[in-house]
Amino acid sequence: MEKFTVQFIPYDVCIEVNRGDSLIAAAMDAGVHINASCGGGGVCGKCRVMVEKGVSECEQTDKLTSEEYEAGWRLACKTEVRDNLTVRIPMESTAHKGGELPKVTPRATAHIRTMDFEVLKEGGMFIPPMEKVYVELSPPDAADNSSDLTRLFHHLKHVTGEGGLDIDFSVIPKIPGVLREGDFKATVTLKRPVTDGNKSRIVNIETGDHTDCNYAIALDIGTTTVYGELFDLKDASVISQYGKVNSQVSYGEDVISRIIYAEKKGGLERLRQVVVETINDVLGKLLSGSGSEVNVDDITTICIAGNTTMTQLFLGVDPRSIRRAPYVPAASLYPSLSAHKLGLSLPEHTMAFIYPLISSYVGGDIVAGVMGSGLYRSEKLTLFIDIGTNAEIVVGNKEWLACTACSAGPAFEGGGIKFGMRAANGAIEGFSIDPDSWEPMLRTVGNARPKGICGSGLITAVAVLFENRLIDSRGKFNTDVSTPRLREHEGITEYVVVWADETDIGRDITLTEPDIDNLIRAKGAIYSGCETLLNEVGLVIGDIEQIILAGGFGSYIDLGRAFTIGFLPEIDPDKVIFMGNGSLIGAKMSALTNTMRQDVVQVVGMMTNFELSETLSYMDHYIAALFLPHTDLNLFPRLKARLAVG
Amino acid sequence: MEKFTVQFIPYDVCIEVNRGDSLIAAAMDAGVHINASCGGGGVCGKCRVMVEKGVSECEQTDKLTSEEYEAGWRLACKTEVRDNLTVRIPMESTAHKGGELPKVTPRATAHIRTMDFEVLKEGGMFIPPMEKVYVELSPPDAADNSSDLTRLFHHLKHVTGEGGLDIDFSVIPKIPGVLREGDFKATVTLKRPVTDGNKSRIVNIETGDHTDCNYAIALDIGTTTVYGELFDLKDASVISQYGKVNSQVSYGEDVISRIIYAEKKGGLERLRQVVVETINDVLGKLLSGSGSEVNVDDITTICIAGNTTMTQLFLGVDPRSIRRAPYVPAASLYPSLSAHKLGLSLPEHTMAFIYPLISSYVGGDIVAGVMGSGLYRSEKLTLFIDIGTNAEIVVGNKEWLACTACSAGPAFEGGGIKFGMRAANGAIEGFSIDPDSWEPMLRTVGNARPKGICGSGLITAVAVLFENRLIDSRGKFNTDVSTPRLREHEGITEYVVVWADETDIGRDITLTEPDIDNLIRAKGAIYSGCETLLNEVGLVIGDIEQIILAGGFGSYIDLGRAFTIGFLPEIDPDKVIFMGNGSLIGAKMSALTNTMRQDVVQVVGMMTNFELSETLSYMDHYIAALFLPHTDLNLFPRLKARLAVG
């Protein structure tokens, strides 16, 4: 993606941004404050900036006259960066008193690691579990009238070096016709074995040469959303992607309520049908999204990852033991099988690979993340966290792995927060305030008028309020501060993030003390989960060499602010990697490399699961973590230093 | 079975017979002629004999006065042997002129070899492919909450010594419920691998201990009849047996007409459905025949053997290449699969094993016969012949095997013979004549009034007529003989076997010159097939050390007579073994011993198939065999000697 630099003056700060990013996003990343209380909708007109160098355009609004526009004035929220720019922030916009420039704290972002197909290829690992092999058999004659299958086996042994192949029964009825239609030239689809002793298995045969048409789907069955990606097994190129709400949400928001529903008569089958329908919708969209490029018959592979409950519900396996001590899943490793048998709208020869899982609360989605992130091959002591309603934590390296799960509650997904919402259009995801006026700068998803606050916005907002001493380490507001934005409403103290007339919802969007309390409990659960798991394996927070963040939540997260509230163990931000949907990435990689399908069996075997409910020290760690950032500030030396300076 | 001896005087001949055999059958086996032209119906009253020692009873008829009965006179056809007897044949009954006793030639019968379970057991081979294993798992707790399947695998490794088992996907949904219902005590059904590298596979799990309930079905899918046997895998004991006409006969009598039908639109699927219905009827009868002893869920195994066409039609595999040069079957080895998937009324966990086959005309029924007869483990050079419309011939021993098939035509099953019929009630199966009067002695199936002549009767009748010089070596009647039984009717010379009033059909039952011609061509095809196959592997008829006869036809066959007409290579009758339905026996043995399931893969690999149509010498051999017994009498030294004496 094309990059441009934006220099902000009078600050001495320069930032590199992607083409098309808004100036307000650039400013926020740079840590430069511009009063921008409407979140990018162009409503408040406060975010006026002067572009002094470089070509820029913005929508003409009644907030700027033609003369102002000609002079270089722009609304930062409506200006997309398409050139290297020098941008002057007018001091009235910074709302800063006394001429002294405010402190600049650039947003610390995690490295985004996506799967690198070239790395796979160079490592000799690009051997998909499903392979198409073209064969040209010599037609039978009087001298050799052995059976079609015998002929095929002999030839494949010659071509692949592998004798005594297995074959799916359902392939055999196709063989005589396919061979004779194609003058004994055909393409055989082989499924490579997951264990060394086993043989490859023939799962399909087609007339002619189809080796170029070998496609796969990676599927992440989330409790909330089902994501799919259709890609080409030749070169890993993405053909289409699609996500859809898991229709099971009608039967319960979280896994526990789904399990309760599954225990009702017919409930399990109903939930299975419902998620299969959702998946089939996703498959349909992936195919239609491919144009006419991909024929469904050419999809050889579907790799499926989900948490343990989603996995069992999808497979029709009674999940009741998942929610009852001692929390036992039905199986950890599932055999591969025809996707068709699972009710998916895919041919019988499409093989479904179900990601193995560790325990009732560390599921296939997490194992996929561990595989997809490369953690299991890392030399570094790594902390892997997948953040959602439940947070799953894995610690270890290529030598050993341990894991646990904790219930973070729905705060990060907007649950239990007065104006909480998912990271959809209009969600406040970035936030800063002017330290003198307490006026905010907002960034919203899609630069839309604000509708609410999403998880990353919540973390940033609480961190910013804490850094600016509007709240204390217990999360209580400093009511000595005088600003109309801080008020008591119906007995609850709250900060007005956006005034009603600048929102999309016609009401003041506020952040309340109970919201902050919920966030502290959520982040405390995760932090103490990490701490407890490390302690159980004889380590401490300071031993961590690398953090990998996975989950839908987290892509925009400001690491500095995450450390500020004690959401993550403090570490050099350069050592934090954000991988996004680890479940989907792991699923995709397993479809691309059979080595990973083999390795995952080892990984599952070596990973030790800890149930926090069985770990006595967890509660102590949790209570100690119910502060900003923590009762023990020494765990956050960088923050401690910063707060001391401030 | 209880045995008795019957001594016939004035002949010096004594024979051992089973309790309940008729005196006429005993006489026929002893080679003693009694005029008995009605075949055992008690109609002609000619078969009067005097029982001089031993207790005997027969139905009182108007053919014997009370005084005669008191004096010891009996009708041989109505007297069942229930004591050791001395029986006088009155000279008027033998119809012999001049007082000289006729020559006595006892019927030479093959040894009947049935499967000996004890031999299997002693040989350490009694390890069925499907095994039930009882497990008592320790329930999960906080210290070990690994998945149910992991727990099961660990325990099975401990019990069976085998790690890394496979599992059918369909078993997994059952596991949580089954384990918890039974306090973690359960029975697992394992399918043993057919190749050494592979692992056993879990195909079912049940609550509690079911190791005592492990049943199997052997199934022979014949072109005409489907036979099934239900038996206990604990001790091989037979629970029920049933045979039913293959409903496919409505679509064609023989395999070629079935293939032609299968080539029509929808034909293959129709034939598949029809035979599946027949099999399901057989399965239903086998189960109802077991009383309530066997629950269908306890059937773990069904071993299925059939000729190549029957196999492909049953499996829904297009058979068109079978009937077209170069005669290629779709597959030789089929993977095992769930019987349910084949449409059978059996549970999903019942494994179906399809007998492997060699070629288009040497099918799984023959391979089953080779396995079931032990030929593949024999030191002796053995000729195996399965006689039906097609005759399949295997020659070899434990070191090597070769096979071929020839079309014998339907003569042995009654086809193309004026009064031909299958070996059903009323079929003439035994025949002799008085050398002076040309009057016959008949034995019919079920001692019923004659309806026609079955295959073994035909062989015997032609042999007897030839031995008595009523026909010559070309099969033409000697019209110099003066008897009303030899006549010309509508331009065709024929011998009257039974006069109309002694039959069940109200017409004279005759044997015509065209009948004899058909028989000669049928036996010539088989004999020359044996000769050609032996020659192809560098051997001659004289090298044969043992003959095994299989097939529905053949149980009553009189070996002496079979040699007489040149139907079989001449060999010491002691070296001929009759095994009956080799297909069913082989299927049963494979269900009892996994070793055989493994061995058969080797056997199929080592057996060389010869297509007689591609073998130039076959036609020469065939033409040379169109004589009684053959153009070269030196091939039949015993017969040559006997004819010289006569």
* All domains of chain A in start order, with CATH: 3-106 (3.10.20.30), 129-207 (3.10.20.880), 216-360 (3.30.420.480), 368-410+527-645 (3.30.420.40), 412-519 (no CATH)
Regions of chain A short of the pLDDT cut 50: 95
**Mind giving me the DSSP string for A448-507?**
PPP-EE-HHHHHHHHHHHHHTTSB-TTS-B-TTS--TTEEEETTEEEEEEE-GGGSSSSS
Identity of residue B627: F
How far is B43 from B77, CA to CA, in rounded Å?
Answer: 10
Q: A359: how many CB neighbours lie within 10 A of its CB?
A: 26
Name chain B contacts of A147, Cβ cutoff 8 Å.
Answer: 328-332, 357, 359
- Token representation of residue B439: 């009057």
In terms of Cα–Cα distance, which of A627, A573, A572, A622 is closest to A462?
A627
Q: How far does CA A337 lie from the centroid of its chain?
A: 27
- Tell me: pLDDT of B414 over 90: no
Instruction: Please report which helix (H) or strand (E) contains residue A378, including its range.
Output: none
How far is B102 from B467, CA to CA, in rounded Å?
Answer: 13
Q: How far does CA B523 lie from the centroid of its chain?
A: 18
Largest CA distance in chain B: 102
Phi then psi for A579, rounded to 5 degrees?
Answer: -115, 0
Largest CA distance in chain A: 102
3-state secondary structure of B464: helix
- Token representation of residue A636: 């956050």
- Rounded to 5°, the CA angle A204-A206-A211 comes to 90
- Are the Cβ atoms of A176 and B318 closer than 8 angstroms? yes
Residue B613 Cα, gap to closest chain A Cα (Å): 9
Looking at chain B from residue 313 to 332, which residues have their Cβ under 8 Å from any Cβ of chain A? 315-318, 320-321, 325-332
Contact present, A473 and A627 (Cβ < 8 Å): yes
Q: What is the mean pLDDT of residues B60-86?
A: 88
Residue B317 Cα, gap to closest chain A Cα (Å): 4
pLDDT for position A116: 66
pLDDT for position B196: 72
CB pairs under 8 A between A and B: 138
pLDDT in tens, B577-631: 888 899 999 999 999 999 999 899 999 999 999 999 888 999 999 999 999 999 9
How far is B62 from B577, CA to CA, in rounded Å?
Answer: 43
How far is B625 from B606, CA to CA, in rounded Å?
Answer: 30
pLDDT for position A60: 76
In terms of Cα–Cα distance, which of A534, A509, A536 is closest to A450?
A509
Half-sphere exposure of B45 (CA within 13 A, CB side): 8
- Tell me: pLDDT of B95 over 70: no
Does A128 lie at the interface with B, CB-CB under 8 angstroms?
A: no
3-state secondary structure of B137: coil
Cis peptide before B10 (omega within 30 of 0): yes
Range in A155-164, A362-371, B92-101, B251-260 the model is least confident about: B92-101
- Are the Cβ atoms of A148 and B173 closer than 8 angstroms? no
Question: A204: exposed, middle or buried (C-beta count within 10 Å: 0-12, 13-18, 19+)?
Answer: buried
**Mind giving me the DSSP string for B525-571?**
HHHHHHHHHHHHTT--GGG--EEEEESSTTSS--HHHHHHTTSS---
- Are the Cβ atoms of A315 and B198 closer than 8 angstroms? no
pLDDT in tens, B267-307: 999 999 999 999 999 999 999 998 888 999 999 999 999 99
Identity of residue B523: K
Name chain A contacts of B333, Cβ cutoff 8 Å.
Answer: 149-150
User: Positive or negative, the Cα torsion across A631, A633, A636, A638?
Assistant: positive
Name B588's Cβ contacts closer than 8 Å, sequence gap at least 6: B115, B216, B218, B229, B231, B236, B303, B372
Name chain B contacts of A360, Cβ cutoff 8 Å.
Answer: 145
Q: B66: how many CB neighbours lie within 10 A of its CB?
A: 8
Instruction: Put the strands of the sheet holding A351-354 in their side by side order.
Output: A238-245, A225-232, A215-221, A299-306, A351-354, A337-338
E-assigned strand segments in A62-194: 73-75, 85-88, 111-112, 130-136, 166-167, 185-191
Q: Which residue of A has its CA nearest to B354?
A: A169
Beta strand pairing status for A238-245 and A299-306? unpaired
- Are the Cβ atoms of B197 and A199 closer than 8 angstroms? yes
- Are the Cβ atoms of A142 and B315 closer than 8 angstroms? no
In terms of Cα–Cα distance, which of B34, B38, B29 is closest to B61?
B38
How far is A442 from A509, CA to CA, in rounded Å?
Answer: 12
Q: Which residue of A has its CA nearest to B612?
A: A142
Cis peptide before A326 (omega within 30 of 0): yes
Q: B368: how many CB neighbours lie within 10 A of its CB?
A: 33
Looking at chain B from residue 346 to 375, which residues have their Cβ under 8 Å from any Cβ of chain A? 357, 359-360
Q: How far apart are the first and last CA of chain B?
A: 37
Residue A337 Cα, gap to closest chain B Cα (Å): 7
Mutation test of the interface with chain B: which of A152, A169, A205, A269, choosing the one with the most B Cβ atoms within 10 A? A169
Looking at chain B from residue 589 to 628, which residues have their Cβ under 8 Å from any Cβ of chain A? 609, 611, 614
Contact present, A356 and A597 (Cβ < 8 Å): no
Q: A270: how many CB neighbours lie within 10 A of its CB?
A: 16
Identity of residue B110: A
pLDDT in tens, B44-66: 888 889 999 999 888 777 888 88
pLDDT for position A353: 98
Residue B605 Cα, gap to closest chain A Cα (Å): 10
pLDDT for position A543: 96
Instruction: Put the strands of the sheet holding B486-489 in their side by side order.
Output: B486-489, B492-498, B509-512
- Tell me: pLDDT of B186 over 80: yes
A506 in the Ramachandran plot: left (φ > 0), alpha (ψ -120 to 50) or beta? left
- Are the Cβ atoms of B329 and A195 closer than 8 angstroms? no
Mutation test of the interface with chain A: which of B172, B179, B342, B362, choosing the one with the most A Cβ atoms within 10 A? B172
Contact present, A480 and A468 (Cβ < 8 Å): no
- Are the Cβ atoms of B148 and A327 closer than 8 angstroms? no
How far is B361 from B329, CA to CA, in rounded Å?
Answer: 9
How far is A476 from A516, CA to CA, in rounded Å?
Answer: 8
Contact present, B637 and B566 (Cβ < 8 Å): no
Contact present, B135 and B187 (Cβ < 8 Å): yes
Mutation test of the interface with chain B: which of A328, A336, A367, choosing the one with the most B Cβ atoms within 10 A? A328
B199 in the Ramachandran plot: left (φ > 0), alpha (ψ -120 to 50) or beta? beta
* CA distances to B117, B427, B505, B557 from B423, in Å: 29, 6, 16, 11
Instruction: Put the strands of the sheet holding A401-407 in their side by side order.
Output: A111-112, A576-580, A546-550, A382-386, A390-396, A401-407, A607-609
Length of chain A in residues, anyone?
Answer: 646
pLDDT for position B380: 95
Q: B4: how many CB neighbours lie within 10 A of its CB?
A: 18
Q: Tell me, what's the ipTM?
A: 0.89
Q: Which of B147, B321, B332 sits opposite A330 (nearest CB)?
A: B147
Taking each helix axis from N to C end, the angle separating B513-536 and B455-467, rounded to the nearest 10 degrees, works out to 100
The helices-and-strands tally (H runs, E runs) of chain B is 17, 28
Q: What is the mean pLDDT of residues B27-54?
A: 84
